[in-house]
Every structure is written in structure tokens, then in C-alpha cells.
Structure 1
Amino acid sequence: MIVRVKDVSKSFQGQQVLKPITFDLAEGERICILGPSGCGKSTLLQMIAGLLRIDSGEVEMAGVTVERGRHFIPPENRPVNMVFQDYALWPHMTVKQNMEYGMKRRKLDSKERERRIDQLRSLLKLDGLLDRLPSQLSGGQQQRVGIARALATEPKLLLMDEPLSNLDVKLRTDMRGELARLLGELSIACLYVTHDRMEAFTIAHRILVLRDGMIDQFGTPSELFERPASPWVAQLMGYHNRLEASLADHGKNVALLAGSPITGQWTGKESVTGPVVLMVHPESVSIHNGKVGDANNLLKVTVVQTVYEGTRWRVIVETADQQPIHLFHHKSLEPGSEVTVWLSPKQTMLYARGGQ
């Protein structure tokens, strides 16, 4: 294991922002820490880097305990580098000098420095930029330089704190694909903080969902999407339809929604009766055409609104008990008209009411 975090916690001014956190990161593995602002993502990353002291627990890197109790190895002596949200380049140094900085501090000879700079110049598409100052670069170019500088010392672990958040939407989409390719080619272990689900899906082998200082779910992107552990994780995964229902048959995972039987995926281990919550992905709701669907998952609804989104229409409908459902369709529908929709059992998640 490159990193082992065991029961690590942190408080600020009496307020606990991280409750005991435990997880491992293997060699070459990429873990994205996903969650909303204020959930403790950056705090966790800074404690692993050694920029913040932990209150309790233990951090181990490459088989060496770097922090436990009074024992503390400072960040400059840990096999780790960090890429910050604001790039943090030296403004008075050229691109090449920024890349060389860490290598010179570690007293690498000029031949080895040139070899690494040449390799990173090619990997990160920095041709023609080595003699420029950061102020002469675009945001995407500055971010690539920040990544190159972090990789130049060949750390065992790379920490990235929302490194693409300052880029525009198109550049961010392009960069996350390039970053996933680069990290894959270098086979470097990486902890990557983001609040963007698609960024996490593109980059991560596993995703650690953090909420209110605790791990809500930890697994592969497909595990999180196909079996979200809570309504909150389901919402994070794009299940934007939250519907209240009552459990009709726990054994067959059937709930009654506005009087209609709806089959879904039961997420809990407990046996419950009564009120439940259904989380349904908009992509898994379709207008019933008489050819597809389970008769148990048909629901009569009224069209409330349609919104044109370029390649398709977002249709907002309402159940008989006035609960809204969003779905996508290839054409507009008349507000006030009645239609029948089908809810895919595989992407309809059932949770005990009161779950978060």
C-alpha cells in the first residue's frame, strides 16, 4: 500500500470537521474524494500531505508511519507532491525553472533534470512554452505546468486538490480526459479531490464519497452508480427524482407510488414496512409506448412543463399525488396532457424513509 489512513480525525475550534476516516490506496491506484463544499475533502488531503496535523489516528506512506501521536514527518520529507487549485506557480520563474525547482532542491544532476523535463514536456504538451513566464500562459497551460512540476520529482503519491476547477467548461472536460490518460501512463498513485461527479468517473478507479466529515460510500464508479448506499449518494449520482411511497412487498421490492406498484432495487439489509423513498434517474424514466416495460412499473402522470435542451426535451410530469418526475424525451409534450411513464426497475432505488 502507498497510503494507509486509519481512524484519522480533525476538529477546528471545537467543531469536528472530520470524524474517524479509514481507507487504503494501492500502488498505481487513483481514488477521487467526492463531495460538496465544506465536507472535509481538502482538509483530509492536507493532513495526508502533512500540511495540517491530525488530531488522532495514523497515516502511513509506503510502509512508513508518517504521523501518529507526537511522531510527525514534515511534508518535505514525505514521498508526496501536491497540485493546488490555484496552480501556485512561481511567477518570476519560467516554465522550465518551475519544473526544475523541486529537482534542484533534491540535488538531481543537470542530465537527469533535462531527461525528466523532456519527458514531461512531451507528455503534457508543453512544447514551445519552457521559456515563458506563468503570466504568459493560459489557464490550461498553467495547470499542465503545475502538474509537470509535481511529477518532476517522481513522488510515490500525487495529491490533487480540485486542479481543474478554475478552467472553463470545455477546457475542463478536455483536461480531465488528458489527466486520466497521463496518470494511467505514469501508473502513479493519486488522491484527487473534486465535487464534480463526471470528473471523478473519468479519473478514478474508486470513489470515496465524503459527507459531513464521514465516508458515506466507497467503491468503484459503477458500484456507486448502480447501487448508491443512501438517497444522498443517489442524488450525487444523478438520481434527481425523489419520490415518497409505501412498501407493498419487501420480498419482491415492490412499493406503491400514487397507488401504482413500482418494482425497484432495495438498498438496505433491514426488513421494513411502511413509508419508503424511491430515487429514480431521469434517464431511466420513459414515455410508455406499449412495447417496453414491466406492467408493474407503469405510472399515469400529467405533463407540467417541457424544456428544450438542444438534443432532447426535459419533460417534467406530476403524479396523481402531485410529486414531480423529470425525464427526457425526443419531442415536446403538451402541458396538461396525460401520459403513462415507465420506471426502469434497475435504476429505481428503494430506501427506508428517514435514510439520508
Structure 2
Amino acid sequence: MLHSILKLKGVSKSFGGQQVLQPISFEVKEGERICILGPSGCGKSTLLQMVAGLLRVDAGEVEIDGVSVERGKHFIPPENRPINMVFQDYALWPHMTVKQNIEYGMKRRKIAKEQMYNRLGRLQSLLKLEGLLDRLPAQLSGGQQQRVGIARALATEPKLLLMDEPLSNLDVKLRTDMRGELARLLGELSIATLYVTHDRMEAFTVADRILVLRGGSIDQIGRSEELFERPATPWVAQLMGYHNRLTVSMAKGEPDTAVAAGTRITGQCMTKGQDTGKATMMLHPEMIYVRHTLGQAETNLLTVTVAQSIYEGTRWRIIAETADRQLLHLLHDERAEPGSRLNLYLPPERTMLYADTDSFIHE
């Protein structure tokens, strides 16, 4: 059974009078990759810096590879923790060559020359740095600098790798290419990784599990398919691409049924035990289907009026209005005339219901 490389137990942090992180707890297993996903200002980087020891925790305990590195007055400084960090700006030494940057940490830890040579050769091959070892960082592309930053972090063979939005400085195409390459690399190395990002597709590509952080608290933690198929809160649903949000009412005595614009719709109620009153229905634009012909027994149909059709290359984005004047976006293969009426099928397994969501937060 895999043991935990990182354990956080009730860790919290405030700056002045502002609580940045509520008490949170989770574990990272040996070889596991966890992505911390959330909007700017939710506490992602603060959490990473506390694990690294760059920030002190206010309360709780941080344990790495079975050793408590911070609890109360007990504190092990960053340089003595079995971790390494890849920063957003790579933080390479500008006056050192690629080879010197990678060797820097190994020399500080007095690793034997033969072992250092072997590690350098392996990392050079693994990260495709052949022919670059004598160059300075300024002579490298963004993608090459990013790979050097990762090589330097891996050279000392840390128990835990911390990555703070390492792809955010790359252009869109390179970022897309690099996230696949990074996922392959981390999989091959099988090193426990805590990875901060605000990009959902990056998290889907890299992570074994995703931790959704909002307002300093964990909204949900689980595999990407768990978060997509059963988002625990409206915020997680929105993060997973469920961008349509309708105000509906729960059908009394039927916990998985809501009334939307006068129509009964069955879905997945994610707030069990609350089956009356106001609710929020979350729908994914790609999981709303137009029905041109209706079967006699077909249910979960919502009739809407087309407001606008926008061509997006492969499909049309239809903006429609419900009978109670709420807007809905869906994707369709054909253009729909403004003013025309459409019957939309809402699959119950992709229709998320959240009762009593007055506290829904837009971020």
C-alpha cells in the first residue's frame, strides 16, 4: 500500500485580519499528482509556499514523508525539507549555464561527482536538453527554460515536487504541447507532485486527483471524472464547464426533480435533504441536445426561443431564452433562426441541481 508523502492536518493562514486559508486537510500519496485548481486569490500559491516552508502556518501540521516539518513552534526550514519547487518564472540563475543551473543543488548537497554525472545525463535525455547544456538561460526559448527549471528541481531527487503554475508564461500552443509532455514526464518519474494551476484542461492532463480551492476552503477533491460527473457545488460545476445557470424550484417530495420555466426536469440533486424551494440548475453547453422530432414518452424537454446564432467554425453557438426569460447557451451543428422555438433535451445525468444556493459565489 502506498504511503503518504505529504499530509496537511488542519492547516490555516491569515494575513492581517484576512483569513486566506481556512483549516484544510488532505494527503498526497507516493507517486501521486494532485493539482490545486482555483481562481486567482483563492489561496493556491499560499498553500504551496506553506508546504515549502516559505510561509509559516498559523495552525495545524505539515508532515512530509512521515516527518513533521511544522507544528506549533516546531519548524524545519525549506532547505532541510525533502522538496523542490518549480516557479512560475522558472527562477534560473541568469549568469549560469544550463549545466551549472542543474548541478547547483547537487553540488550544495555534496552529491558524488559520478552520481551527479549520471543524473545530469538522465535528465538531459528525459527533458530533451541535448545540445543546450552550455547555453545561458537568455539564449533559451520559454519551453526550454521551463524544462531546465524542472530538471534543476528533479536533480536532487526530492520526495515531493512543488509546481507553481509552471506553464503560465508560455504562449497558448506551447502551453498545450508542454502540458502533455509534462504529464508524461511526471508519470515516468512517479514522483509525488503538488501542482498549482487555474487552467482546468491543464489539471485534467496532469493530475491523478484535482483539489478545487475556493475562498481558502476545499470545495471538492477527487479524480477529474468525479468532479466533472458529480460536481459538489455550483462553483465546481462552473469550473468544469457547466456555464449555464438557471434559477429553478425543487419539486416537493421529489429530491431529483426541479421545475424550470414551468417544466419538470429530472437531474442529479447534489444537495441531498433539501428538496423544496429555490434551487440552481447547472447545464453544460455541450450536453444540451436539440430534438427535432419528439418521441411520445420523451421527458426532460425544455422549450426555448432562439435569441442568437453565432458561427464558431465547427459548430454554432445558440443563445436561447426560456419561457421565464433566462438565457441558455448550447452548441449545435446547424444554425437556428432567431425567434424560432427549439425543444431541448437535458440528460438527467448531466443536469446538476443545487438546492438553497443563495450563497453561490461568482469569481
Contact 2:303 2:343 in 1 (8 A): yes
Which one of the candidate residues 9, 33, 56 is aligned to 1:6?
9
Which residues in structure 2 correspond to 1:159-238 (within 5 Å)?
159-238=162-241
Query: Structure 1 pair 28/15, CA: closer, same or farther in 2 (3 Å)?
Result: same
- Mapped to 2, the partners of 1:222 and 1:200 lie a distance apart of 12
Provide the residue aligned with 1:341 in structure 2: 344
Q: In structure 2, what residue type is equivalent to 1:286? A: Y
Contact 2:37 2:196 in 1 (8 A): yes
TM-score normalised according to structure 1 size? 0.97
Provide the residue aligned with 1:132 in structure 2: 135
Query: Structure 1 pair 190/318, CA: closer, same or farther in 2 (3 Å)?
Result: same
Provide the residue aligned with 2:40 in structure 1: 37
- Mapped to 2, the partners of 1:31 and 1:294 lie a distance apart of 44
Which residues in structure 2 correspond to 1:62-81 (within 5 Å)?
62-81=65-84
Which one of the candidate residues 8, 19, 23 is aligned to 1:20?
23
- Mapped to 1, the partners of 2:312 and 2:152 lie a distance apart of 40
Residue by residue over 1:282-330, the C-alpha shift from the partner in whole angstroms, topping out at 9 and shown as x without a partner, is 1110111326897221111111111111111111111111111111111
Which residues in structure 2 correspond to 1:44-59 (within 5 Å)?
44-59=47-62
- Mapped to 1, the partners of 2:254 and 2:161 lie a distance apart of 46
Contact 2:252 2:275 in 1 (8 A): no
Unaligned runs of 5+ in 1: none
Contact 1:209 1:216 in 2 (8 A): yes
Query: Structure 1 pair 290/47, CA: closer, same or farther in 2 (3 Å)?
Result: same
Q: Aligned-residue CA RMSD in angstroms?
A: 1.3
Unaligned runs of 5+ in 2: none
Q: Would you say how many aligned residue pairs link Structure 1 and Structure 2? A: 356
Q: In structure 2, what residue type is equivalent to 1:345? A: P
Which residues in structure 2 correspond to 1:247-266 (within 5 Å)?
247-251=250-254, 253-266=256-269
Structure 1 residue 252, shift from structure 2 partner? 5.8
Which one of the candidate residues 99, 110, 123 is aligned to 1:120?
123
- Mapped to 2, the partners of 1:33 and 1:293 lie a distance apart of 46
Contact 1:31 1:207 in 2 (8 A): yes
Provide the residue aligned with 1:246 in structure 2: 249
1:322 paired with 2:325, answer yes
TM-score normalised according to structure 2 size? 0.96
Provide the residue aligned with 1:296 in structure 2: 299
Contact 2:291 2:343 in 1 (8 A): yes
Structure 1 residue 155, shift from structure 2 partner? 0.3
Which one of the candidate residues 84, 89, 102 is aligned to 1:86?
89
Provide the residue aligned with 2:274 in structure 1: 271
- Mapped to 2, the partners of 1:293 and 1:144 lie a distance apart of 58
Q: In structure 1, what residue type is equivalent to 2:32? A: E
Identity %: 70
- Mapped to 2, the partners of 1:96 and 1:310 lie a distance apart of 46
Contact 2:255 2:275 in 1 (8 A): no
Contact 1:240 1:281 in 2 (8 A): yes
1:150 paired with 2:180, answer no
Contact 1:252 1:263 in 2 (8 A): no
Structure 1 residue 238, shift from structure 2 partner? 0.4
- Mapped to 2, the partners of 1:28 and 1:117 lie a distance apart of 22
Query: Structure 1 pair 291/179, CA: closer, same or farther in 2 (3 Å)?
Result: farther
Structure 1 residue 65, shift from structure 2 partner? 0.5
Instruction: Look up the SS of the partner of 1:269 in the other structure.
Output: coil
- Mapped to 1, the partners of 2:215 and 2:287 lie a distance apart of 29
